């Protein structure tokens, strides 16, 4: 289980996160919703150790992640698919996947992970020798997800995996995420596509101005009047 | 125009240029990927040259073999310098200028250390084969130049293979292409930076010995070498291994040809005029960074 309690993150004077608490139970897919600038990416980056927490607790499977460097957080099995994909543009698709399995624990399973990844994304097998920077947006997002799968994550942190993609491809990406979750990977998903993400999530949180304002079962949130008005445009 | 002379000076140029390349690759790599302009890069090369000089004259160890001593020693020294001097600096937002000042200081310390140990006299690496030549048809090749050329080729290939084929080398490239993502997938940035810096300084050590095979040297010589380092980076593009290699060869050939056909005092003028032309028309360098 991922437990975040009273997490506070500051950018100088600005309190980006003001005492956020959230839980993701083992095997669950949880959606984190909120408008631009609400602090969603800040939240994931604080969990990953890219930005320091001013106060509060973060733990995964009982081990505290506070103060760990990003590579240590990855070692603990918490893997982020960052916003904007952040591939290694001048490396081939194959090398990007290898970098996903950089840590020794994941590297041991390199061959089988590759096979699994190519089963999910057959297209990537054809693109293996191409530079990641030369791929289309949809293909790049597939590489970003594939790279994360190579890391053998226990917990997957997904930051806007469908941003800027054509609707058909976005739907495919959501399907893959749902499939990964069914295979037992716990996931915390940020997405602007509220309807889509609440449809595949079990639980949802709404983050507004650095605070959790609403949370509940995904189905309940879809019926919530406030969410319908603010996020679904109904 | 005498064609034999043209080819002869081109070959000489290629041999010189390959050594410029080896000396310049690490400089370019550290500049491109770490944003550290290591002013002391050539001074480390010169230190390795002096180490070879002592090993040769005291124990009779061949300069090429003495690299087995200087490269690991300077690798370790570079790691320590990175850990205690450069790593604290990397917390600053813009480290190019501070890193130049810091490494300028290191260069001064190294220079005075060399003055203290080896005195300001010019030195030559005089081996048993120094005056030997290979004659192929109308061309002749001096042994030390061949040795320098082979050393440089080996060095460039080793660095290239390290970056392309090993996991650590790939992590170096990944870390500098996409710092955050590399960290998110388990790359320890401090460790990788240390390896990069150590590798660069080691290659400077090999390059310095290569330079010493071609030219005489004294404790101030690294200042002159530094100019060639900047040339290699400007022509080759910052952070590119293959670019640096090609740049070294280009500069070598130009220098070689101009030495044969121009009065000596015009050689540097031509080289730097060319540099200015490149800066005006291709400020990003002739080649693209592939790191």
Render pLDDT for A14-57 as a digit per residue (tens, 0 to 9).
Answer: 889 999 999 999 999 999 999 888 899 999 999 999 999 999 99
Pair A147, A88 in one domain: yes
The domain boundary, picked from A151, A185, A200, lies at A151
> Closest to A82 (Cβ–Cβ): which among B173, B180, B291?
B180
Cβ atoms of residues B213 and B144 within 8 Å? yes
- Residue B243 distance to chain A (closest CA, Å): 15
Pair A168, A147 in one domain: no
What's the confidence (pLDDT) of residue B237? 83
pLDDT digits (tens, 9 = 90+) for A148-169: 999 999 999 999 999 989 999 9
> Closest to B177 (Cβ–Cβ): which among A50, A69, A91?
A91
pLDDT digits (tens, 9 = 90+) for A88-137: 999 999 999 999 999 999 999 999 999 999 999 999 999 999 999 999 99
> Closest to B170 (Cβ–Cβ): which among A82, A95, A103?
A95
Backbone torsions φ then ψ of A55, nearest 5 degrees: -160, 170
Residue A174 and residue A198: Cα distance in Å, rounded? 11
Q: Among candidates A131, A58, A145, A143, which has minimal Cα distance to A92?
A: A131
Give A-chain residues touching B177 at CB under 8 angstroms: 88-91
Give A-chain residues touching B291 at CB under 8 angstroms: 90
Taking CB atoms and an 8 Å limit, are A99 and B189 in contact across chains?
A: no
Pairing between β-strand A29-33 and β-strand A203-208 as defined by DSSP bridges: parallel
pLDDT digits (tens, 9 = 90+) for A177-189: 999 999 999 999 9
**Helix orientation angle between B189-214 and B63-81, rounded to the nearest 10 degrees:** 150
CB proximity A229 to B under 8 Å:
no
The domain boundary, picked from A135, A151, A167, lies at A151
The domain boundary, picked from A134, A151, A168, lies at A151
Residue A192 and residue A195: Cα distance in Å, rounded? 9
Pair A119, A157 in one domain: no
Pair A13, A51 in one domain: yes
Pair A123, A164 in one domain: no
Q: Residues in chain B with pLDDT < 70?
A: 1, 288-291
Residue A25 and residue A188: Cα distance in Å, rounded? 10
Average pLDDT for A69-78: 96
Pair A10, A20 in one domain: yes
Give B-chain residues touching A102 at CB under 8 angstroms: 167, 171, 174, 185-187
Pair A164, A147 in one domain: no
Specify whether the backbone of A188 is left (phi greater than 0), alpha (psi in -120 to 50) or beta. Answer: beta
> Closest to A50 (Cβ–Cβ): which among B174, B183, B291?
B183
Taking CB atoms and an 8 Å limit, are B188 and A69 in contact across chains?
A: yes
> Closest to A80 (Cβ–Cβ): which among B184, B290, B291?
B184
The residue among A85, A91, A141 with the most chain B CBs within 10 A of its CB, best to mutate, is: A91
Specify whether the backbone of A2 is left (phi greater than 0), alpha (psi in -120 to 50) or beta. Answer: beta
Domain span at residue A225 reads 1-77+153-234
CB proximity A50 to B under 8 Å:
yes
Residue B126 and residue B49: Cα distance in Å, rounded? 12
One CATH from 2.60.40, 1.20.120, 1.10.3470, 2.40.128 for B3-281: 1.10.3470
- Residue A223 distance to chain B (closest CA, Å): 36
Taking CB atoms and an 8 Å limit, are A70 and B290 in contact across chains?
A: no
The residue among A45, A90, A105 with the most chain B CBs within 10 A of its CB, best to mutate, is: A90
pLDDT at A80 over 90: yes
Pair A197, A120 in one domain: no
CB pairs under 8 A between A and B: 74
CATH of the domain at A212: 3.40.50.300
Full DSSP string of B84-153? IIIHHHTTSS--HHHHHHHHHHHHHHHHHHHHHHH-S--B----TTTT-EEEETTEEEEHHHHHHHHHHH
Taking CB atoms and an 8 Å limit, are B186 and A71 in contact across chains?
A: yes
Q: Among candidates B193, B212, B224, which has minimal Cα distance to B126?
A: B212
Pair A66, A52 in one domain: yes
The residue among A102, A132, A143 with the most chain B CBs within 10 A of its CB, best to mutate, is: A102
What's the confidence (pLDDT) of residue B107? 96
- Residue B185 distance to chain A (closest CA, Å): 6
Taking CB atoms and an 8 Å limit, are A71 and B167 in contact across chains?
A: no
- Residue B170 distance to chain A (closest CA, Å): 8
């Amino acid at each position: 289980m991922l437990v975040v309690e009273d997490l506070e993150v500051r950018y100088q004077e600005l309190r980006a996160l003001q005492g956020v608490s959230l839980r993701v139970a083992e095997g669950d897919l949880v959606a984190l919703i909120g408008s631009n600038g609400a602090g969603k990416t800040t939240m994931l980056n604080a969990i990953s150790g890219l930005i320091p927490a001013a106060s509060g607790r973060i733990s995964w499977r009982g081990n505290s992640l506070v103060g760990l460097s990003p590579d240590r957080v990855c070692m603990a099995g918490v893997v982020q698919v960052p916003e904007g994909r952040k591939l290694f543009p001048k490396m081939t698709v194959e090398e990007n996947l290898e970098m996903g399995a950089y840590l020794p624990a994941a590297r041991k399973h390199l061959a089988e992970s590759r096979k699994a990844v190519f089963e999910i994304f057959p297209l990537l097998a054809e693109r293996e020798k191409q530079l990641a920077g030369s791929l289309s947006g949809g293909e790049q997002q597939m590489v970003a997800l594939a790279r994360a799968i190579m890391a053998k994550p226990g917990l997957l942190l997904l930051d806007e995996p469908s941003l800027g993609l054509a609707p058909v491809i976005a739907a495919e990406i959501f399907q893959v995420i749902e499939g990964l979750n069914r295979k037992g990977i716990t996931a915390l998903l940020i997405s602007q596509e509220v309807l889509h993400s609440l449809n595949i999530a079990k639980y949802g949180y709404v983050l507004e101005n650095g605070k959790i304002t609403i949370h509940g079962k995904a189905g309940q949130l879809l019926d919530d009047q406030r969410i319908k008005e603010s996020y679904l445009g109904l | 125009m005498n064609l034999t002379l043209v080819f002869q000076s081109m070959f000489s140029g290629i041999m010189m240029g390959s050594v410029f390349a080896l000396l310049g690759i690490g400089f370019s790599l550290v500049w491109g990927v770490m944003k550290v302009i290591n002013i002391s890069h050539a001074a480390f090369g010169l230190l390795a040259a002096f180490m070879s000089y002592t090993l040769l004259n005291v124990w009779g160890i061949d300069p090429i073999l003495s690299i087995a001593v200087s490269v690991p020693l300077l690798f370790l020294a570079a790691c320590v310098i990175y850990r205690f001097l450069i790593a604290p600096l990397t917390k600053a937002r813009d480290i190019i200028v501070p890193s130049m000042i810091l490494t300028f200081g290191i260069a001064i310390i190294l220079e005075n250390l060399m003055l203290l140990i080896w005195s300001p006299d010019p030195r030559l690496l005089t081996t048993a084969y120094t005056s030997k030549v290979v004659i192929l048809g109308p061309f002749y090749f001096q042994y030390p130049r061949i040795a320098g050329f082979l050393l440089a080729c080996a060095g460039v290939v080793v660095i290239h293979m390290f970056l392309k084929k090993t996991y650590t080398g790939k992590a170096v490239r990944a870390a500098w292409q996409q710092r955050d993502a590399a960290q998110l997938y388990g790359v320890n940035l401090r460790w990788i930076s240390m390896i990069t810096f150590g590798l660069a300084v080691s290659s400077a050590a090999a390059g310095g010995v290569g330079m010493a095979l071609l030219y005489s040297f004294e404790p101030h010589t690294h200042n002159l070498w530094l100019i060639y380092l900047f040339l290699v980076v400007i022509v080759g593009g910052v952070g590119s291994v293959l670019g640096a290699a090609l740049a070294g060869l280009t500069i070598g050939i130009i220098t070689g040809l101009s030495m044969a056909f121009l009065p000596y005092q015009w050689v540097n003028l031509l080289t730097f005029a060319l540099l200015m032309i490149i800066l005006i028309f291709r400020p990003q360098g002739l080649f693209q960074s592939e790191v």
